[in-house]
């Protein structure tokens, strides 16, 4: 018995309904739920969902997310609402997909079901992304997993922030009882789900979606600010937690050639984002940067952020990332502003120096930075 869940907030109702319809059309799928942020966004989708339910003769429910967690009420509350209800109802398999995917089709569901049939307790979808997309994954989450769990498969996961996963019953039941997962009501939920399912030792498979995940991209990087600080805080919260058991079962489809059009996509507005760097360091941020080793602080503060940002290479970022992992405070305006500015410097430095070198070269470079961080963490 398989259930498909789509959390949604401000997506076009017809896109959400299209994806509900795709899920309901699959013979492997018994029921489909859309988890809405609130009643206002639920209403237009509910009308369309009722038509799909009648046409497919399946239950298609639009439910409103409950307040479960302790942080900003966001996607985490939506996913935890579904996890908790699915655990109560005893579903064997629960698929999650973002509602804004424009190339959602049977292959996602079949790929995950096939891996679950082979005995994997969790299936994560992996997919190629544009060279300038996934900048929180590459610059925050994978470096954090490298630092915290260097000998394990965690830093090697392709999409640790991906919302496209299949959970089998044992995983759903365990997550429904996990306080650290339930409190994470914000964008940090994906990090917590990735971590928590990786240490269950129930087998984890990465299914490759060759066409990539097509979904809404961004304007300026400012649009990612909230996600950035919440994902950074979620990564920090894993400090001191045990990693996956040695030899834990992890399988993956091999990566395949990325589609040509995806290789050419510029995922964010570089010129607009560059303007966000600022010409001078705000006083409150200077006070925080002063806690970095003198040599690192000196390099950063030697000129305005818009002039020193190109120095933010993989090596300098390792220092800065470690500093943020150690001291960042979610909800503190100075820390949030500083973390965003430092990450912006890193993303722009990478974009200008590496992402312009071609797709394959950019991917090789990004993977090499994760390897570097794993090596650095292993030897410290």
Ligand X SMILES: Nc1nc2c(ncn2[C@@H]2O[C@H](COP(=O)(O)OP(=O)(O)O)[C@@H](O)[C@H]2O)c(=O)[nH]1
Alpha helices by DSSP H, the chain: 13-24, 39-56, 75-89, 106-117, 135-136, 142-148, 169-176, 179-182, 189-198, 225-236, 260-264, 270-274, 283-289, 294-301, 305-308, 314-327, 333-353, 359-378
State the nearest-atom distance from the C-beta of 154 to ligand X, in Å. 19
CB of 36 to ligand X, least distance (A): 6
Half-sphere exposure of 283 toward its Cβ, with a 13 Å CA cutoff? Answer: 0
**CB under 5 to 8 A by kind: which of ligand X, Mg ion, none does 354 bind?**
none
Q: How far is the CB of 215 from ligand X (least distance, A)?
A: 5
Q: Which does 75 bind (CB under 5 to 8 A by kind): ligand X, Mg ion, none?
A: ligand X
Footprint of Mg ion on 182-221 (CB under 5 A) = 215
Q: Provide the 10 A C-beta neighbour count for residue 104.
A: 26
Residue nearest ligand X, CB atom distance: 78
DSSP secondary structure string for all residues of 186-197 = STTHHHHHHHHH
Q: How far apart are CA 61 and CA 20, in angstroms?
A: 10
Please return the burial class of 88, using the count of CB atoms within 10 Å of its CB with bins 0-12, 13-18 and 19+: exposed
CA-based nearest residue to 184, from 81, 92, 306: 81
What's the first-to-final CA gap in the chain, in angstroms? 46
309 binds, among ligand X, Mg ion, none (CB under 5 to 8 A by kind): none
The residue within the footprint of Mg ion, chosen from 11, 31, 100, 164 (CB under 5 A), is: 100
**What is the smallest separation between the CB atom of 23 and Mg ion, expressed in angstroms?**
17
Return the one option of ligand X, Mg ion, none that residue 11 interacts with (CB less than 5 to 8 A, by type): ligand X
* C-beta closer to ligand X: residue 163 or 243: 163
The entry of Mg ion, ligand X, none near residue 8 (CB within 5 to 8 angstroms by kind) is ligand X
Total of chain residues touching Mg ion, rule CB under 5 A = 2
Q: Which is nearer to ligand X, 163 or 203 (CB)?
A: 163
- Tell me which of Mg ion, ligand X, none is bound by residue 208, counting a contact when its beta carbon lies within the kind-specific cut-off of 5 to 8 angstroms: none
Distance CA 162, CA 349 (A): 24
Name the residue nearer to ligand X (CB basis): 11 or 31: 11
Cβ proximity to Mg ion, 9 vs 327, nearer residue: 9
CA distance 162 to 303: 37
* Residue 5: strand pairing partners: 33, 96
Note the residues at the interface with ligand X (CB under 6 A): 7-9, 11, 35-37, 65, 74-75, 78, 98-100, 163, 215-216
Residues of this chain that interact with Mg ion (CB under 5 A) are 100, 215
């Amino acid at each position: 018995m398989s259930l498909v869940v789509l959390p949604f907030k401000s997506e076009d109702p017809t896109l959400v309904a299209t994806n509900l319809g795709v899920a309901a059309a699959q013979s492997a799928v018994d029921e489909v739920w859309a988890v809405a942020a609130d009643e206002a966004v639920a209403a237009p989708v509910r009308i369309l969902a009722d038509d799909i339910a009648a046409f497919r003769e399946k239950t298609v429910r639009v439910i409103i997310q409950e307040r479960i967690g302790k942080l900003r009420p966001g996607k985490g509350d939506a996913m935890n609402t579904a996890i908790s209800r699915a655990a109560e109802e005893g579903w064997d398999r629960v698929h999650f997909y973002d509602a804004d995917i424009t190339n959602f089709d049977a292959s996602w569901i079949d790929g995950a079901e096939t891996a679950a049939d082979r005995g994997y307790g969790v299936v994560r979808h992996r997919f190629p992304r544009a060279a300038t997309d996934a900048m929180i994954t590459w610059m925050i989450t994978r470096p954090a997993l490298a630092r915290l769990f260097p000998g394990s498969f965690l830093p090697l996961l392709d999409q640790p922030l991906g919302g496209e996963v299949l959970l089998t019953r044992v995983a759903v039941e365990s997550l429904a009882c996990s306080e650290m997962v339930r409190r994470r009501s914000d964008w940090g939920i994906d990090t917590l789900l990735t971590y928590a399912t990786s240490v269950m030792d129930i087998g984890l498979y990465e299914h490759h979606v060759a066409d990539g995940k097509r979904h809404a991209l961004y304007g300026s990087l400012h649009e990612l600010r909230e996600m950035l600080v919440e994902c950074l805080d979620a990564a920090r919260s894993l400090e001191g937690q045990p990693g996956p058991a040695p030899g834990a079962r992890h399988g993956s489809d091999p990566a395949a050639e990325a589609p040509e059009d995806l290789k050419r996509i510029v995922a964010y507005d570089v010129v607009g984002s560059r303007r966000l760097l600022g010409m001078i360091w705000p006083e409150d941020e200077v006070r925080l940067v002063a806690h970095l080793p003198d040599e690192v602080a000196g390099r950063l503060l030697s000129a305005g952020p818009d002039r020193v940002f190109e120095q933010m290479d993989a090596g300098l970022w390792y220092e800065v990332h470690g500093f943020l992992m150690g001291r960042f405070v979610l909800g503190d305006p100075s820390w949030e502003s500083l973390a965003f500015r430092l990450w912006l410097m890193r993303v722009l430095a990478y974009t200008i120096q590496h992402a312009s070198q071609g797709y394959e070269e950019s991917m090789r470079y990004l993977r090499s930075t994760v390897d570097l961080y794993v090596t650095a963490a292993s030897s410290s």
